[in-house]
Amino acid sequence: MNPSHPAPPSPGTVLVLGGEGFIAGFAIAALRARGWRVLRGVRAAGRVLRGDERRCDLVAMTVPAQWRDTLSGVDAVVNAAGILRASRRQTFDAVHVDGPLALARACVEAGVRRFVQISSVGDPADGPFIASKHRFDAALLALPLSAVVLRPALVYSASGSYGGSSLLRALAALPSGVAVPGDGGWPQQPVAAEDLGELVARALDSDARGTFEVAGPQRMPLRDYLLAWRRWLRLPGARVWRVPMPIAGAGVMLGEASGGGPIGATTWRMLRRGVVVGEDALPRLRAAFGFVPRALADALAAHPSQVQDRWQAHLYFVAPLLKTGVVALWLLSAWAGFATPAAEIERLAAGSPLAAAAPVALARAGAGLDLVLGLWLASGRWPRACLALMLASVFAYTLAFGLLLPAQWLDPLGGLAKNLVVLPALAALWGLSDRR
């Protein structure tokens, strides 16, 4: 760097809660572009913190004193943490109200000069997600702390997606057209995540206070939103496939019950109500921060789609189907291993080195392993560890039986030959299991 043109002084150090999340990533990028030193607030359960991380466990840290060390050297805070579904440990009150309120009170005590809360538009009647967010918004603004609340509408990004935004991309990429619940007429006012991040950075630099709704300048029905994404993905066809509301609603409820669906009951109610902001929202943003988000077409035009975007959209529905197929295959293999008579197992092993290696016991043990792995993958816990063991076991089976029972390669029903497909399928599922 030319010493005659020194870098401008840093605005300070900002702590960003939810630092590993989708929206937080764009806020962090915008903050760093403006010279902030960013500390990412993470739960970091069971691992050592990196140099740019601070421990922020909203469930466990419920009194201001517990935040004292976390706030050491921090000048400002951005809270981008949140959950769409509650669990026994992570409740809406704990994550959205109790933990953040303890943090905000600690900010008052520590003299933190600015606090930006990323909340959400919506009606508290839509569910506890919105209700809890808005309760904290009110409590934050009642404190003697310079604070601003940003309530974004439907957030998207051309550079990536997560959760519900990934589902909407996938619905836009179906063969021949897009799929919409009902007539797809529910109004949306989407906002680019990059623009939301820019507003977060500008909010830290401003002295504005209060609540601001954040959205793009254009309202559109959900079907037009999806068609815009289809054009961006450069896919042919513009037909709108209408999914009957009972079927769409049943899918949402199934996902809610399993805890794995991308759209929960709260998001479903919000979409049907329409995710839009008030008529004065954009003028207020311009007056307070000198910036308003771009229209969807402008944001998409700034980031042309690539083949990876089409892969992600097309594979979205393939991933759960592939997982279901793998689970079914492992459970069927376990059943076959237990149900095959001992005499048949001994006949197959006759004349091979396996005949002297207790083939029946080996078959039953293999069936037990397949049962454990199949149920493990079905549970959804640590899927990559499970898939790694599946890969290792299939590779070992293929190598051992391929050498010791080479006739199995010529089995007309597949035998060992099917493993030439199973191995890359498991590798693909390992990659697709990262849903963030």
Secondary structure of 228-248 as H, E, C letters: HHHHHCCCCCCEEEEECHHHH
Structure tokens at 188: 């949306």
C-beta of residue 132 within 8 angstroms of C-beta of residue 93: yes
| Residue-level pLDDT at 354 | 67
Strand partners, 40: 16, 53
State the Cα–Cα distance between residues 432 and 429, nearest whole angstrom. Answer: 5
Strand-strand pairing, 155-156 and 191-192: parallel
Closest CA to 419 of 432, 401, 434: 401
| Residue-level pLDDT at 343 | 84
Structure tokens at 180: 């919409």
Q: Is 173 helix (H, G, I), strand (E, B) or coil?
A: coil
Phi, psi of 13 (to 5 degrees): -110, 130
C-beta of residue 35 within 8 angstroms of C-beta of residue 58: no
Low-confidence ranges of the chain (pLDDT < 50): 1-7
Structure tokens at 275: 């995710």
| Residue-level pLDDT at 85 | 79
Strand partners, 39: 15
Please give the model's pTM, rounded to 2 decimal places. 0.85
Structure tokens at 85: 């579904």
Q: Is 188 helix (H, G, I), strand (E, B) or coil?
A: strand
Residue carrying structure tokens 């390669």: 409
Q: Which positions ≥6 away from 343 have C-beta within 8 Å? A: none
189 burial via Cβ count (<10 Å: 0-12, 13-18, 19+): buried
Closest CA to 150 of 300, 299, 293: 293
